Structure 1
Amino acid sequence: MSSGKSGISRIWKLYSSQEKRNIIIYIVGIMLYKFGVEAYNGSIVTLATNRYDQEAFNRNSTAHTFERVGLLSGLNQASQCIGSILVAPLTRRWPTRTVLSISIFIFAIFSAILMIVDTATGGHIKPKDFVQINEHDYRYYGKYNTNGIIPIYCITGIAFGMVELIRRIIPRDIVGDDGEKLQKMDAVVHIFYEIAGVSGAFATGLGLIPHLGNNYSFIITPILFTAAAIVWLFISSLGLANNNNNNNNFSDENIRIDKNSESNYLKSILNGFIIFIQSFFIGAKIVFTHRKFIWLWSCYALTLYAHRYLENGIAPQIATRYLEQSEWSQVIVGASNFGELLGAVFIFIFGNFIKTPLPWSRLDAFILLLVWYIPYYYPPVNDVKYAWIIAATYIPIGFGSSVDDIGLNSFIQSSLSNLESKHKNISALGAVASFLYSSYIIIYAILNPLLGLYIDRIDNSTGSIRPAFVNTVAIQMTVISAIVLISTLIPKGSMACNPVLLHDEELDPTINNVQNPDKLPTKNNNCEQIIKEHARNETDSQLVTYF
C-alpha cells in the first residue's frame, strides 16, 4: 500500500502547481463535454428512428428507417473528418484553448437549432401524463421533415470532429512534451472521460428521454457545451505552446514569413485537404508494402467499424424492434462505455505484461463472437430489465474494444514515431493514422446504410428483423473476427500466444529513418529544422485524429 501511495505521490509531484490547475480545469471541461455529447448523439439517433417509423406509418408506406438512420450516422462520421482538417489553419492563428472553446460553442449553437425547429413546428416537451395510442404515436413531435435532421447532424459532426481532434493535441499545451507527464495525464483524463460517458448514456436513456421525449432530451447539451467552452478559456498556455511561441521570435534575417499565405485561410484549408489525400495514399503504401504493418488494416479499421456498428447501428435496432423503447439503446451504449472504462483501467494497471497488441486484437476478435445470441433472443417488450441483460453482454464487447484500441495505438505510435516519409510535410505516423481511420470511415459510411436497407427489406417482408440479424450481426462479426485472427499471424514472431517482440523489418525505400546522425539539427540549421518539425507536427495533429 505504501508503495502505491509513494507512486501516486511521485506522479503528483511531476507537475507544477499551474499544470495541476490546468489539468483540473481541463478534466472539468471534458466531463461536461462528454456528458453533453452522449445526451445529444443518443437522442438524435433515437429521434430519427422514431420519426422515420412514424412518417412511414402515417403515409401507410414502406419504412426505410434503418437505411436513413445508417446514412445519418455515416455522414456524421464523414463530417468529423472534415472538421479535423479545418483545425490546423485555426491553431496557427489562435491559441489551441481558444479554438477548442469556439468549436464547442458552435457545437452548442447548432445542437439547439433542432429544438428550435421542433418548437416552431408545433413540438413540445413530452407531457407527464402522455399515453401512447400505438407504437408510432409521438404527438408531441414537431411537424418538420425528418430528413432535415441530416444537414444539422452533419454540421454538428464537423464541430464534433474539431473538438475531438483538439482535445487530443491540447495536452501538449498543458504539460509540454514530457512523455511520462503526457502518459499519466492522458490516462487520468481518459478515465474521467469514460465516467462521464457512462453516466451520460445512462442518464439519457433512463431519465432524460423518458421524461422530456427525445426531441428535447438533449436540452442539456447546449448548456453543458457552453459551460465547457467557458471553463476551457481559463486554461493557460504552457508546455509546447510557450516553446512554439518562443521559436517564432526569430529575427527576419533567419525566418521569412509569407504573410499572405498565413492570412489566406481558404488556401490553408485547401492545402489541408490536399495533404490529407496525399497522406492517405502514402499511409496505404506503408501499410500494404510491409509485413510489419499490413495486418494493421484489418485489426484496426475492421474492428473499429465492428464496434461502432454494434453501438450505433445494432443497439438502436434492438431497442426499437426487440424492446419497442428506442431510448433504451442508451442503456446498451452506456454498458459498452463502461466496458471501455474497465479496459482502460486494466491496461493502465496490467498493460506492461503484454508487449505487443496482438493478444489484445485476438481477444477482441473472440469477444465479437458473443453477438451470435442476438438473432435468437426473444425478450419481452417494454421491460427495462431485459435492456440491462442485453447491456451486460456489451460490457465485454466494450472491454475488448478498449484494450485492442489502446494496444494498437501504442504500437503504431512507437513503431512510426521515429520514421518519416519522403514527402517533406507528411510524417509516416500521420500518413498511417490518416489511412487507417479514413478506411474505417469509408467502410462505415458505405456499409451502414446498405445494411440498413437490407434490414428494412427483411423487416417489411417478414415483420421481424431477426432473420436480417443472422447476416448483419452474427455472420458479419464472425467474418470480421476470422479476418482479424488470421491477420494477427502475419507479422514475424507472431505465432506465440503473447509475442514479446515483432521483429523489425527493413522499411526502405518507402520511409527513411530520421535517426541518421547526418540529419540531426546543427547550430547552423537549427532554425530551419525547427520550422520543418513544427510544420510536420501541425500535419500530424491534423491527421492523427483519433490516436
Structure 2
Amino acid sequence: MSPRRSGISRIWKLFSPVEKRNILVYVVGIMLYKFGLEAFNGSIVTLAANRYDQEAYHSNSTIRTFERVGLISGLNQAFQCIGSILIAPLAKRWPTRTVLSVSIFVFAIFSAILMIVDAATGGYIRPKDFVPMDEHDFRYYGKYNTNGIIPIYCITGIAFGMVELIRRVIPRDIVGDHPEKLQKMDALVHIFYEIAGVSGAFATGLGLIPRLGNNYSFIITPILFILAAIVWLFISSVGLAVDNTGTDEMTPVADNIESGYLKSIVNGFVLFVQSFCIGAKIIFTHRKFIWIWSCYALTLYAHRYLENGIAPQIAKRYLEQSEWSQIIVGASNFGELLGAVFVFIFGNFIKTPLPWSRLDAIIILLVWYIPFYYPIANNVKYAWIIAATYIPIGFGSAADDIALNSFIQSSLSGLESKHKNISALGAVASFLYSSYIIIYAILNPTLGLYIDRVYDRTDSVRSAFLYTVAVQMTIISVIVLVSTLIPKGALACNPTLIPDEDLDIISTSKESSIETNDRGHILKRKNQQKVSPELVTHF
C-alpha cells in the first residue's frame, strides 16, 4: 500500500456516501449535545456552590457548601449507571437512533425544570448593571430550597447515562463492525466532541454565566438538546442495526409490554451485578490485568475530582468568582483534545498503555502548587494561569484513558465468559467504571466536608488543599507508578508485555442466561444470543 493511499484520501474513500452523510449528521448532533452539556453541568455546580454559601451566610450556620456539591456530583454519576442499565431493554425494542433522540429529549425537559422553578419562586436573569454588595449577594436567585437541585440533578443523571451509553454503541449502526471504520469514526467524533467541550466550557464561564447568571446560563441546554435529538433522527442504520421485530426467540411475545420491560430492567440489574463480580475476578486474579484497576479507576477518579471537585473550590475560595471554574474545566478539556490527537498520531510507537499511565501519574503531581498559590481575587488573569496548569493534566488523562481502553478491548475482546449473557470485556468494563463511581461518590462529599470545616474554622482552604489535593494526588501517583511495574516485562521504558498465563474466565452462575416468560417462569434457549456488553455496562 502506497503512502499516499494510507493518508487522508484513503480514509475518505473507506466510507460509503451514506456512511459519510450519517457520520456528518452524528457529529453535528454530538457537538450540539456536548456544548449544551458543558453549559448545564458548569452552571449547576456553580449555582449550587453559590446558593449553599448564601444560605449558610444568611442563617449563620456551619458552611457545608462543598460537602453538598460533592454529594450532588456523586449522586449524578451514580444515577448515570442506573440510566445505562435502563437503556438496554429500550434498545432491544426500538432503533438505536430513536432511543438516543428520545433520551436526550427527556434530558432537555428536565434540564429546563430548574429554570421554571427559579422563575416561579421570584428568580430572574441577572441584570446587566448588577453590582453585588458582597460575595453572597445573589438577589436574582429564586427563593427555593437549594436541596431541591439534588433530585433534579439525579433525574438528569439517569438521562445522561442513557445518552452517554447509546452514543458509545451507535457508531456500529452507522458503519457496521468494520474495525478500521469504527476506529477512524471514533477518533473523528472524539476530536469534535472535545472541540465542543472546550468551546462550551469557555462560553459558559466567560459569557453565559456573567451575562445571565448561573440560574439561567443553561437556558441554551434544552434548546441545543432538542436540536440534537432532531438531528439524530436523520441517521439511517446502514451497519449492524438492532433487530426490533420481536422475533427473537429469547424474548417471548408478552401481552403486557410494560410488564415485559420491567422484567427486562430487573434482568438488567442482575446482569450488571454479575458483570461486576466477574470483572472483579478477572482483574484481581490475573497478573496481566491486576495493575489496570489502579491505572484506570484511580486516575479517572483523580482527574474527575480535580475538574469537578477542586476547580469549583479554587474559583469560589481563591478567585471569588464561581463561574471561572469553567475556564479551568475548558483548559482541561483542551488538554484532553491535544492528548487524543497526539495518541491518534503517535500511538503506534507505544506498545502498551504503561508509559501513558506513568506519564499521567507524574503529571498530576503538578497540583502541588495549589495549596501554596496566592492569586489575586476577582482577577480573571489568575484563572487563566491556573487553567494553563490543567492543560497538561488533561493531556495525560486523555492519553492514558485512550491507551487503556484500547488495551482492555484488544486483550479481552476474544475471551468469553462461560455466562452466555456476559462477555469478559463487558464484565471488566462494568467493574472498572463502577469502581470509579463508588470511589468518587464516597470521597468527593467526604473531602468536601473536610474542606468546608477547615474553611469555616480558618476562613481559608489552603491547609485543607495540602491534604485533599497535594497529598491525595501523590498517594494516587505512587500507587499507579508501582502498579505499572507488576506485569511481566514492564520494567522497560516502552515495554512489550509478556504473555504469562492462560485466562480461565469463570462464570458466577451455572445457568447460561436469565430469561423469563410473561408468567415469570424461567425459559431456556438452545441458541443463546449475547447481550451486547455495551448495553449492560457504562464504560
Distance 1:460 1:191 in 2: 42
Partner of 1:132: 132
1:393-412 alignment, distance < 5 Å: 393-412=389-408
Q: Is the 8 A contact 1:318 1:329 kept in 2?
A: yes
SS at match of 2:377: coil
SS at match of 2:133: coil
Cα distance, 1:61 vs structure 2: 1.3
Q: Is the 8 A contact 1:284 1:432 kept in 2?
A: yes
Q: Which one-letter code corresponds to 2:50 in the other structure? A: N
SS at match of 1:259: coil
CA-based RMSD: 1.7
Tell me if 1:289 matches 2:285.
yes
Q: Which of 422, 425, 432 lines up with 2:421 in the alignment? A: 425
Q: Is the 8 A contact 1:39 1:218 kept in 2?
A: yes
Cα distance, 1:504 vs structure 2: 3.9
Q: Which of 325, 342, 346 lines up with 1:346 in the alignment? A: 342
Change beyond 3 A, Cα 1:10–1:383: same
Cα distance, 1:256 vs structure 2: 6.9
1:160-171 alignment, distance < 5 Å: 160-171=160-171
1:372-387 alignment, distance < 5 Å: 372-387=368-383
Distance 1:261 1:309 in 2: 47
Cα distance, 1:420 vs structure 2: 1.0
Partner of 1:258: 252
Change beyond 3 A, Cα 1:509–1:232: closer
Cα distance, 1:60 vs structure 2: 1.3
How many pairs were matched up?
520
Partner of 1:324: 320
Tell me if 1:18 matches 2:18.
yes
Change beyond 3 A, Cα 1:422–1:59: same
Distance 1:149 1:59 in 2: 19
Distance 1:484 1:166 in 2: 31
Tell me if 1:456 matches 2:452.
yes
Structure number with higher helix proportion: 1
Q: Which of 274, 294, 304 lines up with 1:308 in the alignment? A: 304
Q: Which one-letter code corresponds to 2:81 in the other structure? A: C
Q: Is the 8 A contact 1:40 1:218 kept in 2?
A: yes
Q: How much identity, in percent, do the aligned residues show?
A: 78
Q: Which of 452, 469, 472 lines up with 2:468 in the alignment? A: 472
Q: Is the 8 A contact 1:433 1:543 kept in 2?
A: no
Distance 1:509 1:342 in 2: 37
Q: Cα deviations across residues 393-430 of structure 1 (Å, max 9, x unaligned)?
A: 00000000000000100010001001111222111111
Partner of 2:519: none
Instruction: Return 23-32 or 503-512, whichever deviates more.
Output: 503-512
SS at match of 1:9: helix
Distance 1:36 1:157 in 2: 14
Distance 1:469 1:317 in 2: 10
Partner of 1:524: none
Q: Is the 8 A contact 2:279 2:428 kept in 1?
A: yes
Q: Is the 8 A contact 1:201 1:330 kept in 2?
A: yes
TM-score, scaled relative to structure 2: 0.94
Cα distance, 1:500 vs structure 2: 2.1
Q: Is the 8 A contact 1:30 1:193 kept in 2?
A: yes
1:135-154 alignment, distance < 5 Å: 135-154=135-154
Distance 1:3 1:46 in 2: 50
Partner of 2:521: none
Q: Which one-letter code corresponds to 1:121 in the other structure? A: T
Partner of 1:57: 57
Cα distance, 1:362 vs structure 2: 0.2
Distance 1:295 1:511 in 2: 22
Q: Which one-letter code corresponds to 1:496 in the other structure? A: A
Tell me if 1:71 matches 2:71.
yes
Distance 1:393 1:186 in 2: 28
Distance 1:38 1:70 in 2: 18
Distance 1:392 1:228 in 2: 31
Partner of 2:536: 543
Distance 2:89 2:178 in 1: 25
Change beyond 3 A, Cα 1:396–1:502: farther
1:86-165 alignment, distance < 5 Å: 86-165=86-165
Q: Is the 8 A contact 1:261 1:267 kept in 2?
A: no
Tell me if 1:277 matches 2:273.
yes
Q: Cα deviations across residues 411-466 of structure 1 (Å, max 9, x unaligned)?
A: 10001001111222111111100000000000000001100010011000111000
Cα distance, 1:332 vs structure 2: 0.1
Distance 1:424 1:542 in 2: 14
TM-score, scaled relative to structure 1: 0.93
Distance 2:355 2:231 in 1: 40
Partner of 1:80: 80
Q: Which one-letter code corresponds to 1:332 in the other structure? A: I
SS at match of 1:498: coil
Distance 2:53 2:12 in 1: 53
Q: Which one-letter code corresponds to 2:265 in the other structure? A: I
Distance 1:194 1:346 in 2: 14
Cα distance, 1:501 vs structure 2: 2.9
Change beyond 3 A, Cα 1:178–1:118: same
SS at match of 1:241: coil
Change beyond 3 A, Cα 1:162–1:256: closer
Distance 1:173 1:97 in 2: 9
Distance 2:135 2:94 in 1: 50
Instruction: Return 297-306 or 498-507, whichever deviates more.
Output: 498-507
Structure 1 gap segments, 5+ residues each: 513-527
Q: Is the 8 A contact 1:420 1:511 kept in 2?
A: no
Tell me if 1:508 matches 2:504.
yes
Cα distance, 1:220 vs structure 2: 0.1
Q: Cα deviations across residues 170-190 of structure 1 (Å, max 9, x unaligned)?
A: 000000000000000000000
